[in-house]
Amino acid sequence: MFQPEFLRRSDPFALMRSMLRDFDRLTPALTVRPAFPAVNVWQGDEAAAITAELPGIDPADIEITVKDNVLTIAGERKAPQVPDSARWHRNERSYGKFSRAVRLPFAASQDKVEARMTNGVLRIVVGRPEEDRPRKIEIKAA
Amino acid sequence: MNNDVTQTTDKTPAATPETTTGGRIYRPLADIVETDEGVTLMLEMPGVGADDVDVTLEKRVLTIRGKVRTTSPEKLQLAYAEYGEGDFERSFTLSDDFDPERIGASVWHGVLTVTLPRAAKAQPRKIAVTAS
């Protein structure tokens, strides 16, 4: 008896999920273009850090700028070089220019920003200026 | 700039059984290109180094696994998260005509490239007939 793959599965939502995936793939224009890259923001007393996943991007193609409390990550995702005779089976990754601005919890100066890239993950550490750090207030005896 | 929650690029969880440790497994985005020599796969696996990739071919099924080294800056707390970190896993069923001995894999800035050369076509062999 003919039984499609989704009926044999124990997962009742498998069909719905596969339909949604097809729908997403076929109608990319209808959905809002998501911002790239997604960022995680870390915070501490002395610094803040921003991590972002930028796979397949040469660190030389990334530009990081800081102005007051806005940090901007911009760059370009270059498409892989393939010969003209090549046939694409799948193209799930996306390419092109990107730019993303992130608001920092404090105003930072350009010289206190340090960026490092390992295995396609960018990590930017921004030092908190001295005058912005939490200060303990001593209570004087009356 | 506004205070709305920004919609960012999302990672798809892999359709694999869950892990015992509760860690997440994502399905890496793939580009697959066929050239004259064979097929090239490019998979986005940010945070995965060359030592942490595992590519296996078993009964025509090519499985790619990548172990992520998490990036958590010391002394800092996560304040806002748009993406999750987790291992990557994806498998593909291949046709028969690939040469398993010549499969190559390399990692460059979080992108794994797997080259699958097609097996050389069986050369026609001439059989000499001897007169008896």
Complete domains list, chain B, with CATH: 30-70+84-119 (2.60.40.790)
- Determine whether the interchain pair A92/B29 forms a contact, defined as Cβ–Cβ distance below 8 Å: yes
Residue of B nearest to A93 (CA): B29
The CA distance from B46 to the nearest CA of chain A, in Å, is 5
Q: How confident is the model at residue B31 (pLDDT cuts 50, 70, 90)?
A: very high
Domains of chain A and any CATH numbers: 1-31 (no CATH), 35-80+95-129 (2.60.40.790)
pLDDT at A81 over 80: yes
What's the number of CA atoms in the CB half-sphere (13 Å) around residue A15?
Answer: 9
pLDDT in tens, B32-88: 999 888 899 999 999 999 999 999 998 889 999 999 988 777 788 888 888 989 999
Size of interface A-B (CB pairs under 8 A): 142
CA distance B130 to B132: 6
pLDDT of residue B2: 52
Nearest Cα neighbor of B46 from B62, B63, B69, B25 is B69
Query: What average pLDDT does chain A have?
Result: 83
- Partner residue facing B110 (CB), from A47, A48, A56: A56
CA distance A118 to B52: 13
CA distance B18 to B26: 11
The residues, ordered by sequence, that sit 6+ positions from A73 with a Cβ below 8 Å of its Cβ are A37, A39, A50, A52, A62, A63, A64, A98, A99, A100, A102, A122, A124
Enter the pTM of the model.
0.76
Structure ipTM over 0.85, yes or no: no
- Determine whether the interchain pair B76/A42 forms a contact, defined as Cβ–Cβ distance below 8 Å: yes
pLDDT of residue A74: 94
CB-CB neighbors (< 8 A) of B71 in chain A: 51, 118, 121, 123
- Determine whether the interchain pair A80/B71 forms a contact, defined as Cβ–Cβ distance below 8 Å: no
Give the pLDDT mean for A75-91: 88
Give the pLDDT mean for A84-91: 88
CA distance B21 to A99: 36
Residue of B nearest to A53 (CA): B46
- Determine whether the interchain pair A121/B47 forms a contact, defined as Cβ–Cβ distance below 8 Å: yes
